[in-house]
Structure 1
């Protein structure tokens, strides 16, 4: 590249070479990763074959899942001593060299799930002295070396699920005295002998042996004094030998899962009898049981402390009144994912402590009468076939606070349905076919705080449709067919903080629609059809009353791909707005006064529009902006940032636009910038971008995301070439180096002058007069002829030698004319009265 400006190319190249060789830069531009503000490196789904080498040392977490890394070498992590978390899920790792983690003394969590490890070797985890969690599920591990866990003295969670282990071994506990949670489901373990795992008391709290098809379970010593959770789901084979020498060995187990076991009824009964009436068992899962379910329920109900009972996915069609008669201590009953069509009226009458009843994913066509005889506070009837709600379906259920009725074919509601639910707090009616509310929420719902009507068929909301919901905080109407929001639609919702109106057909917001929502914090109007004719001010700005609003999403208003505009006072009233989404609206322009009403804006997302040019003053009122997203807007220049004064901006995303040159003043106008994304632009690869290219490589504050993928679009001979591969060193004049040279020369000259003045002062005076004589002689040599060639000055003692030898030699033989004082001076005169060396 030719030099521009000051031609100092050779010195510049030399300086850059020395600077990069002696003082290597700590570049913050990564090839395959990005670093978040929390110092997390995200490198997932990048098709990496090796561990990235350019991750900054300060990073505390690395996400490397879904790549193609096959080997971890001992040099891969040597420069990352501050790591706390490392996730290598879904790679192809089959080998980890010894001492790979020797520097990671701070690492807390290591995840190696879904790789190809076959053996855990000695030295594999050396250095991980502070590791707390290790996840190795879904590998091909068959063997574990005796000293493989030697460094893991603080490990509390070990997950070896879905591998090929055949035997339990004390390796798991020998070097991990603090281990509390051991997960080894879905291996090939057929025998559990307690002495193989440990010969002394352990700290285990959770033991997962599910999906192993155990044939032998022998517990001969009390090695599990703290065990609370035992999972045997689908892990007991028919004909199991269950030997527990003392039932007190499992006396502290709180949760037991024996779902899906393929044992005989007798074998499963033996398992349950281990947890006798003195047990602390509280949570029991009997899901997917094919044989003797009634008998097993009878045994289970005798556990005096059983409070959480799951009987899911058992193909139960009818619940009889005597099935759960003895489960008097239950607080939660989960009968979901069965095929229940009928429930006897007295089925739950004995469950006096029942608090939560889950009947989701069954075949009920109406609300069972049996639920009215309970004192429950939570009821889940979602995913059934209920098509109508009667006025007495929840009669006298005054304690009910949560109802899930989602995914039922409801067509309409009645105003009397929830009349007795004075303590109703949360109601979900989403994914149904409700097209009318019929005044359901106009009275007697004082305590409702969350109402979800997502994905129904509401087209119109009446005035004051929700006026009884004085305590409502969250209302979701997403995915309906609302076309217009009338005045006072939300009358009475003075405490509402979150309103979701996404994916409707709203084209107009009338005056006073949001007037009562004084406490609203979040408003979602995404994917509607709001449109205005021009940017001219409107008489009634839609958000004029929402002074407390924090987040507003009005993106995706142009479903027909027509270009839109927003009035210049569209955001009037939003004085506390912090986050604004206006992307995907096909906006062609924005009035410079648009953000005059949002001085506290913190994050602005306006990507996917047609803003080829942005007015210089558009962002002037948003001095607190920290995140600006303007990707895919066809921007031709970033010069508008020069006038925005965004001194607090930290994140700037301007990917997939049409600008090609980044000027130095633009970047320097953003002193707080830490993250920059410019991918997808076509850059000019000449000296116009020389400063930007050098800045990308050397700056240590701003992370330029995917910079190594930036491509040249000009000049033609470099089109398609990577921007960072272009050599622009010849374009760069390093002013620091020039200043250094200038300063050095000044200092040297000052020292030289001082030295000369101090030690050679009289020599300089003499030289000065010699110079004057030379100048005089040069000036007057042509004005008169010389009478003498030389003046001879001598001591009287040398007069004989001068007259006898010097004069004959020079005058007679050489033809010179000498001036002698005693011979050629006339009395009263001097031979050269005007000569500067002989003043009067």
Structure 2
């Protein structure tokens, strides 16, 4: 409110509201030392590398405690049914959102409007039956959208209009039924390249129903739709290269093809007609319409079709190089089956229940490079493959092969990958791989091999990956792999190996990764130094063996002393039943080790010199041991540690971290231990910590944990995983209560007593201010203005200056028209009174309250123009206060009240000062003077003219009754 009543709507109660807001903010600042109100912990999710993971969390709504910096948000497999408009308001850098497998039925308009960076969006397996207007508003940068299995029946003409950058759309397994609904979608997506319409119960495909213009689609999936007629009369797919039009296997009717021009589908390179019933006309159609560019043809589950004829007709298309013939029950293949397939380079024959193949079945396949015979019933390696000298990849996995003979792979000198896993092979022969001089990958896992018999001593000079896991091997003999000088990855896990001879890995100088886990290797094997030949090894997995040590005395010949390039050593699960130790120099030689995993080996302690030899260590896992206590000295050599796992170690305290000086530690997992208090010094000793996992500990709910509780909520750097579910175990009366529900108001926030005293004084001071404001405001205001009045009166007496104005006019800005049009012309224009008006006579730059005081005491009288707006105004209230104080102080007739409205007494009751004045003084009423305005102005003139005796004023104004 400006002087004299000048105000706007936002300032009517500015004084009191401003004070209240200031008071609230101050209390919040004070309480931040005691009770935090925000923070970085989440109830149902966790953050990993800027990815928010909330999957399978039983959520029924989108959580609102996710940091705005996440780039990926996984909410799959929950129970969310509605997406609110406010759910994703603050994720400016989110690029991937996964909402699949929920119960989403409704999405509010604008729910995704703020996801300006989103690229990939998954809404598969929900219940979005209807896609409403502008459903994806704001997703202008989205490139991939998945809406599979939603039961979608209806699509608005504006549902997809915001998706101007979309290139991939999967709307398969819905209920679109008709191609016109697909047209509604396509006309909104100018840049769509890949479209999947699988299983939408489309019964016809007419190109004119789809669109009247060319589309940019390069991939179209129409599979599993019971299309009876496929008719294209215009070149609507000028860029299409991938087409799947396979029918459901239960479909009995034959599809009718009608392609009016041979060029309409001439660019298709991959065609899937699986499940179609192919007759002579259809074969002719395939040859005529897909001839120019077709390279890959998929004909799976071709029931009731003469497959031999179809294959040979397909092979007459000169560009076709790949045939996929899965699930066709081809029990036997003879020479006629691929007779015309001289240009084929890839054949996939999986899951055909094949038991036999004619020796000359592949004779015509002169350039075959890839042959897949997986998941059949072949009892041995087919002799037919010996006629494939160009073969580069052969898959014989998941058959019933029991033995491998020396001539099984004759002539396969160009073979690079051989898969024989999940057969019944029991032994190898030395000569079995003699011709495979270019082989790089050999998969023999999941067999029953018990002996290698020198199969890898001489041959396979280019082999890089060898998988022998899940077999029956018991021993690795000297030089067993001597011929594999190029080997990089060796999998021997899940065997029964208990004998490792010296020189077992002789010749494997290029090996970088070896898996020896889940065997029966003991510490005696390690003592022989059989790893000394693996000088370039980077990963060694020894988990779940029987290696055990019972003292920490240094070993004379450390097992890894030659492995200076090793980066990862996995030792977990050894000696689970007996308590053990590690020799102090167990890790000697591992100068570049980055990861050491010794989880669950029943360690009682770790020697302080254990990690002296691993200065580069970044990840250490010693969980599930009986360590009970850890020395800070243990960590002095590994100051670059980034991740530490110490769960289930019976630790009594984390205080060792205070002196460990792990300033770079980012990840700490310390679940299920026996400490109940996490101190401030512990947390502050880990300045780089971004993830803290303390699940399963029994916390003490008292002031010892007050700082940790507040920090877990307030800090913005470290994610305290599952903090919402931390449970108190002590004291007994709070057992079962959640730690974050602990009331810490009574706890000392800071150990420095001065802080406590300052905080207490601030609280008491503002409590006093609040009490004074609510209960003693009138008395304080009276005293203040009385003091001002005394000062002003003294000043006037000293100066003995006459009054500058006849009257000061106090009014509200809404009543200004009456003052200007009625009051001013009468009193100044006709009666020559000198009036003081705020907008005209106040001194610029002077404080408002001083202007008001000077105007009232510098005028003989004060005219208060009263209305309902006047009563509600804070500044008007102050003006009448100063006038009434002058009245009480000087005992002079200085106040004239003019009512512009009839205001009942009931409405005056909240305005204490006004009601009090009306009980003691009379007033003028403008509404009652409308019939005789001359009388009103005459009375007002007489009131201004009279002296300052109170009795005289009562006589003059007594003609008007009180309200």
Q: Following the alignment from structure 1 to structure 2, what is the Cα–Cα distance between the partners of residues 547 and 437? A: 30
Q: Which runs of structure 2 are paired with 1:153-164 in the superposition (5 Å)?
A: 153-164=164-175
Q: What's the counterpart of residue 753 of structure 1?
A: none
Q: Quick check: 2:194–2:218 contact (8 Å CA) kept in 1?
A: yes
Q: Following the alignment from structure 2 to structure 1, what is the Cα–Cα distance between the partners of residues 755 and 491? A: 64
Q: Quick check: 1:240–1:267 contact (8 Å CA) kept in 2?
A: no
Q: Quick check: 2:34–2:744 contact (8 Å CA) kept in 1?
A: no
Q: Following the alignment from structure 1 to structure 2, what is the Cα–Cα distance between the partners of residues 337 and 684? A: 61
Q: Following the alignment from structure 1 to structure 2, what is the Cα–Cα distance between the partners of residues 63 and 542? A: 44
- For residues 707 and 295 of structure 1, do their structure 2 counterparts lie closer, same or farther at Cα, with a shift above 3 Å needed? same
Q: Quick check: 2:287–2:317 contact (8 Å CA) kept in 1?
A: no
Q: What secondary structure does 2:713 align onto?
A: helix
Q: Which runs of structure 2 are paired with 1:48-447 in the superposition (5 Å)?
A: 48-168=59-179, 169=181, 170-235=183-248, 238-261=253-276, 263=277, 265-266=279-280, 268-269=282-283, 272-277=286-291, 279-291=292-304, 292-374=306-388, 375-447=390-462
Structure 1 or 2: more helix by fraction: 2
Q: Following the alignment from structure 2 to structure 1, what is the Cα–Cα distance between the partners of residues 427 and 557? A: 34
Q: What's the counterpart of residue 755 of structure 1?
A: none
Structure 1 position 344, deviation (Å): 1.8
TM-score normalised over the length of structure 2: 0.73
Q: Following the alignment from structure 1 to structure 2, what is the Cα–Cα distance between the partners of residues 536 and 22? A: 51
- For residues 735 and 535 of structure 1, do their structure 2 counterparts lie closer, same or farther at Cα, with a shift above 3 Å needed? closer
Structure 1 position 733, deviation (Å): 3.1
Structure 1 position 310, deviation (Å): 0.7
- For residues 495 and 433 of structure 1, do their structure 2 counterparts lie closer, same or farther at Cα, with a shift above 3 Å needed? same
Q: What's the counterpart of residue 770 of structure 1?
A: none
1:540 aligns with 2:552: no
Q: Following the alignment from structure 2 to structure 1, what is the Cα–Cα distance between the partners of residues 727 and 652? A: 17
Q: Quick check: 2:34–2:749 contact (8 Å CA) kept in 1?
A: no
List per-residue Cα deviations over 1:160-206 (Å, max 9, x = no partner): 11112111231221111100011111122111111222111111011
Structure 1 position 15, deviation (Å): 4.8
Q: Following the alignment from structure 1 to structure 2, what is the Cα–Cα distance between the partners of residues 637 and 256? A: 65
Q: How many residues align?
A: 730
Q: Following the alignment from structure 2 to structure 1, what is the Cα–Cα distance between the partners of residues 438 and 578? A: 47
Q: What secondary structure does 2:312 align onto?
A: helix
Q: What secondary structure does 1:540 align onto?
A: coil
Q: Quick check: 2:355–2:379 contact (8 Å CA) kept in 1?
A: yes
Question: Structure 1: which 5+ runs fail to align?
Answer: 1-10, 746-840
Q: Following the alignment from structure 2 to structure 1, what is the Cα–Cα distance between the partners of residues 750 and 351? A: 72
Q: Which runs of structure 2 are paired with 1:413-812 in the superposition (5 Å)?
A: 413-508=428-523, 509-559=526-576, 561-733=577-749
Structure 1 position 295, deviation (Å): 1.9
Q: Following the alignment from structure 1 to structure 2, what is the Cα–Cα distance between the partners of residues 75 and 344? A: 66
Q: Following the alignment from structure 1 to structure 2, what is the Cα–Cα distance between the partners of residues 416 and 269? A: 46
Greater shift, 380-389 or 491-500, is seen at 380-389
List per-residue Cα deviations over 1:89-125 (Å, max 9, x = no partner): 1111100011111111211111111111111111211
Q: Quick check: 1:112–1:136 contact (8 Å CA) kept in 2?
A: yes
Question: Structure 2: which 5+ runs fail to align?
Answer: 1-22, 762-963
Q: Which runs of 4+ in 1 moved over 4 A?
A: 11-26, 734-743
Q: Following the alignment from structure 2 to structure 1, what is the Cα–Cα distance between the partners of residues 700 and 231? A: 73
- For residues 444 and 13 of structure 1, do their structure 2 counterparts lie closer, same or farther at Cα, with a shift above 3 Å needed? same
1:31 aligns with 2:47: no
Q: Following the alignment from structure 1 to structure 2, what is the Cα–Cα distance between the partners of residues 721 and 480? A: 49
- For residues 517 and 12 of structure 1, do their structure 2 counterparts lie closer, same or farther at Cα, with a shift above 3 Å needed? farther
Q: What secondary structure does 2:255 align onto?
A: strand
Q: What secondary structure does 1:430 align onto?
A: coil
Structure 1 position 208, deviation (Å): 0.6
Q: Following the alignment from structure 2 to structure 1, what is the Cα–Cα distance between the partners of residues 97 and 189? A: 20
Greater shift, 635-644 or 25-34, is seen at 25-34
Q: Quick check: 2:543–2:574 contact (8 Å CA) kept in 1?
A: yes
Q: Following the alignment from structure 1 to structure 2, what is the Cα–Cα distance between the partners of residues 632 and 191? A: 63
List per-residue Cα deviations over 1:341-362 (Å, max 9, x = no partner): 2222222122121111111112
Q: What secondary structure does 2:660 align onto?
A: coil
Structure 1 position 610, deviation (Å): 1.6
List per-residue Cα deviations over 1:578-634 (Å, max 9, x = no partner): 011111212222112111111110111121222211123111211110011111222
- For residues 635 and 21 of structure 1, do their structure 2 counterparts lie closer, same or farther at Cα, with a shift above 3 Å needed? closer
Q: What's the counterpart of residue 44 of structure 1?
A: 55
Q: Quick check: 1:215–1:237 contact (8 Å CA) kept in 2?
A: no
Q: Quick check: 2:493–2:517 contact (8 Å CA) kept in 1?
A: yes
Q: Following the alignment from structure 1 to structure 2, what is the Cα–Cα distance between the partners of residues 13 and 680? A: 37
Q: Quick check: 1:166–1:187 contact (8 Å CA) kept in 2?
A: yes
Q: Following the alignment from structure 1 to structure 2, what is the Cα–Cα distance between the partners of residues 655 and 157? A: 43
Q: Quick check: 1:459–1:481 contact (8 Å CA) kept in 2?
A: yes
- For residues 383 and 742 of structure 1, do their structure 2 counterparts lie closer, same or farther at Cα, with a shift above 3 Å needed? closer
List per-residue Cα deviations over 1:267-295 (Å, max 9, x = no partner): 75365345343x21111111111122112
List per-residue Cα deviations over 1:375-419 (Å, max 9, x = no partner): 211111111121111111112321112111111111111111111
Structure 1 position 718, deviation (Å): 0.8
Q: Quick check: 1:12–1:733 contact (8 Å CA) kept in 2?
A: no
Structure 1 position 742, deviation (Å): 7.3
Q: What's the counterpart of residue 882 of structure 2?
A: none
Q: Quick check: 2:308–2:336 contact (8 Å CA) kept in 1?
A: no
Q: Following the alignment from structure 1 to structure 2, what is the Cα–Cα distance between the partners of residues 434 and 408? A: 10
Q: What secondary structure does 2:710 align onto?
A: helix
Q: What secondary structure does 1:295 align onto?
A: helix
Structure 1 position 244, deviation (Å): 1.0
List per-residue Cα deviations over 1:37-62 (Å, max 9, x = no partner): 2x111111111111101111111210
- For residues 215 and 736 of structure 1, do their structure 2 counterparts lie closer, same or farther at Cα, with a shift above 3 Å needed? farther
Q: Following the alignment from structure 2 to structure 1, what is the Cα–Cα distance between the partners of residues 538 and 109? A: 54
Q: Quick check: 1:12–1:732 contact (8 Å CA) kept in 2?
A: no
Q: Quick check: 1:47–1:68 contact (8 Å CA) kept in 2?
A: yes
- Give RMSD over aligned pairs: 2.3
Greater shift, 252-261 or 670-679, is seen at 252-261
Q: What secondary structure does 2:733 align onto?
A: helix
Q: Following the alignment from structure 2 to structure 1, what is the Cα–Cα distance between the partners of residues 758 and 675? A: 38
Q: Following the alignment from structure 1 to structure 2, what is the Cα–Cα distance between the partners of residues 166 and 384? A: 41
Q: What secondary structure does 2:394 align onto?
A: strand
Q: What's the counterpart of residue 750 of structure 1?
A: none
Q: Following the alignment from structure 1 to structure 2, what is the Cα–Cα distance between the partners of residues 196 and 105? A: 33
